[in-house]
Each structure stands twice: as structure tokens, then as C-alpha cells.
Chain A
Amino acid sequence: MRGLIIKDLMSFRKRLAIVVFVTVAVLIMAVMFSISAKSGNLYQMTIPGPDTTEQEAEYAKEVMSFAFMVLMILPMGAVGDTAKNMLFEDRKSGFTAVASVTPLTVRQRVLSKIITICGLYLAGAVLSIVISSLVSLFTDLVTFRQLFAVVTIGFSICLIYTFLMFDIGIILNGSEMYSETFALMIILLAIFGMNIKNIISLIKAGDNFASVIIEQAKNVTAVVLDRSYVFFIIACVLGVISYFVTVAVAAKKREVI
């Protein structure tokens, strides 16, 4: 099993340059963002004045902190991108056939993939957290606690997305694009389902759309950041389900992993 994990980690080498590039770029952007938000153009946008209403200033602040938080997930995404393509890369190259004639059982082959997926995303999350901790020293836009929660949520959603892709790829023997699209659709539908009340109230808001959306964004962000562990638990549960389902399907179908 260790051999398969090593093989998958080797595929990460070719992405190393991208990861370094993204990390450096994020660091530079985050520092520039922080400086600008403290005393530059971005700061000007957050002060109510003759051209900016109080509501718009608050809206700008919310958008900025949201953009800042999203920025912190990028290094993790760059590392984890390798994980999401592993299964399909093996199929394309024919390594699935090689792995299936080694002394490794289907359980070991599935487990090795799940361990590698989790390991890569975890490494990416650690990288994002390190960058977040550095960046949080220079900004008041967000706290480290918030950034940590964002990385946890990002990590969990990436895992959920990859596990879904993995399952769809194995159960339906789908292509990479097919599995990606389906996984994304499932996640978007879940988000849509969870926010259906908010969406309805937004539709009904009419002229108050801006204030309602700011209020909602604030509430949702607060709730989500406070409960980032829920996403992590969902990812863990899905990981376990994914393992058992994949083992059962792969043992029956063969040659899929």
C-alpha cells in the first residue's frame, strides 16, 4: 500500500512549481491587500463619505474580508488539485491494470487513494494555515481564528468534492469531466437546499436587496465560521462511506482502481 501512496505523491512533483507559484503569489497579494485595506484605496472604500453611503462602505468591508478569506484557501487548492485527478490519471496511463495485478487487495488500493487524498489536502491546509497566521499579523480585516475556520471549511469541502468525484468515478465508471460536473452539482444543490429560505427572502427583498444580502452574508458567514467543525465531520463521515462503497463496488466491478 505504501508503494501506491508513494506513486501518487510522485505525481505531485510535477505540480510543485505551480504550488510554489500560487503560494508566493497569494503571500504577495495578501500583503498588498492588507496594506491597501489599512491605508490605501481599499481603506477609502470602507469609509462612508460624500460618494459612499454607510451601507456601501459596510458592503465593501464584507466583500473585502470575504475575498481575503478565499485567497487563503488557494494554496490548499493548488496542493489538493493533484489529489482530485489521481484516479483518472491512473486510468489514462493504464496504471489501474498494473495495480490490479500486484499483491495488493482492493481494500488496500482504495485505502491508499483515500490516505493520499486526505494527506495532500491536509498538507495544503497546513500551508494555508501557515500563510494565514503570517498574514493575520498584518491585517484587521479578519482574525486568525476566522482564517483557520475558513481553511477548515475549504479543506472539508475539497475533501467532500474529491470523495464525491472518486465515488462517481468508480460507481458510474465516469470520466474525469463527468465526475467533476456531478460532484459540483451535488455540492451546489446541497448549498442551494441549505439556503433556500435566504434565497426566497432575497427574491422578496425588492429595493432592499443590498441591505438584505449584506445582512444574510453576515449571518451565514458568522454561522458557518462558528460551525466549521460540522463541515469537517461531514467530510470525515463521507470519507468513511466513500471507502466502504468504493471497496464494495471495486471488488464487484474490478479494474476500476
Chain B
Amino acid sequence: MESVKNAIEIRNVTKDYGDFKLDSITFDVPEGSVCGFIGQNGAGKTTTIKLLLDVRAKDAGEIFVFGRDMSKESAAAREDIGVVFDEMGFNEYLTAKDINIIMRNIYKNWDEKVFFDYLKRFALPSKKKCGDFSRGMRMKLQIAVALSHNAKLLVMDEPTSGLDPIVRHEILEIFREFVLEEDHTILLSTHITSDLEQIADEIVFINAGKIVLKGNKDELIERHGILKCKKDERSKISDSLVVSEEDNSFGIQLLVNDRTACEKLYPKSVIEPATIEQIMLGYVSSPKRG
């Protein structure tokens, strides 16, 4: 059997800021997949991405991108990485045409044709100062840049936040096309879980600097469930199966971590599949709340 190659390997990475600590996080992103990196604001998503790209120095641990040790070969590895931030970082006086000139002198594999094709597709003017662009246009410009140097890995930090649904849909479509190529991988940090429902293969969930959940998206959704029961039935349900609980006027709603087991153990209870958002909320609100 052919072993799965990983585009990203993060091993026991630690970063201590004093008031916040990224605590020995470990996860892999298989090549050819879309990995949704989720967590609430301040959970450590951006810090992890910055450590991954070697933009910030880690305190401990190892990070490999396409087998390259990022603490030693980060500059070379970044040829293969396209990065999209939540804010456009280009100076406002630059036009898309200027950016093309700059980038073709930075990236060895810069493809001018691809860049201008994306500009056309996104309806971005090439001679207008990017400071005059709307948020959606700025995001599209960043994506065009990230996709125009034959990157194999796309790392994005909240690329769709603050965008209207039409632009978001358009951008997700581009990501889908990107991963059609077998060796293309995406690490997408977001807290908009509906985007991940559409596009992600893998999910890594970070909370307060710790990885609390990771795995195949479909398996995670398959495994978790929302069990609804009356308040007096709660005591019959094993605590080991419950991730979190919430009271409402009809009874109690539990996020359970083994839907199949629950269905066998409590056949009379209503158990529905959980969404990524419910799973995320459940783990964030854990320990169980009343």
C-alpha cells in the first residue's frame, strides 16, 4: 500500500509569548488535501501559520513542508508556498501591473500569463492603485499573486472573512480548482465553518493554543452527533461519550463523540449528525456546561 505523503508536518511545536502559549502542537496535512484550520479568535491559528512559514521563530519542535525542514530551508521552501493573509499587504500606491513586475523579480517560477489571466477572471483592473480596491478585490489580488508562481501549497489566514457570500463562493471555487491538481494542498485557517463544510477534507481544531481535534472531516462529522434528551434522562448517558451539553426549553442537547455507540446504547434517543460548527462550539464550551 502506498503511504500518504504529507505536505505539512508539524511536530511538538511550542511558542510561548508569556500571556499565550502554543502548547506542543502536532498535526499533518496530507498532500492533495484541503485542511481546514479552525478555532476561535486568539486560539493560535495565525501564530501556527507564522511558525509554519518560519516568519516567527518557534521555541521548540519541528516543522516540515514537502519534507523540507523549515528552520533550515524556509526561503527555498517558500517558492512552493502561496500565502494569503486576511489583510492585503501591498503598498497602496502599487497597481497590479507593478505587483507583476515586483513578483517576477522575486519568484523564480512567476508566471505572468497566469497572473494576468487571474486578474481578468477576477475583473481586477491592472492599472488602478490597489489602495482603491474594495476588500473583496484586495483579497482576489492576493489570491492571484499566491496562485501565479506555481505554488504547490496554499496557506491562507482567514481569506474569506468579511467577504460577501458571492465573492466567498467565487474564491472557494478557485480553491477547488487549485486542488484538482494531485499534488496541490491547501491549509485554510478560518472560523467560517460553512466554508469548510464545502471544501475541506481534513480538519484541525485548535483551542487556547492546543490541538483539541484533528482528522478527516467526513469521519469527524460521522463520528460526532447531537443527542437530544429530556433532563431526567441525562444521568443515563455515559459522561465519556459527552463532549458538551446545553440546556434548552425542550430538554438537553449533548454533543457526543461516538454517534454509533450512542445509537446502540440509547436507541430511544434522537441523535442527529453534528455540523462542524456544532462540533467546534462543543469543544470550545467543553467542559460540559449546564
Q: Which residues of chain A have a CB within 8 Å of any CB of chain B? A: 2-4, 6-7, 10-11, 13-14, 89-90, 93-98, 100-105, 252, 254-255
Contacts and interface: CB of A to CB of B under 8 A. Distances in A.
Interface string B61-98: 00000000000000110110101010111111110001
A229 to B, nearest CB: 35
Given A10-B94, A101-B55, A94 B105 contact: no
Which of A95, A97, A101, A254 has its CB near the most chain B CB atoms (within 10 A)? Answer: A101
Nearest to B85: A97
B57 A254 contact: yes
A98 B57 CA distance: 17
B78 A101 contact: yes
B92 A3 contact: no
Nearest to A86: B91
Contact of B106 (A4, A93, A97, A100): A4
Contacts, number: 74
A95 B89 CA distance: 5
Contacts of A101: 53, 55, 78, 81, 83
Interface string B102-117: 1111111000000000
Nearest to B76: A103
A201 to B, nearest CB: 50
Number of chain B interface residues as a range: 20 to 34
B231 interface: no
B93 A94 contact: no
A102 B107 contact: yes
B106 A104 contact: yes
B56 interface: yes
Interface in B169-200: none
Nearest to B83: A101
Contacts of B107: 102-103
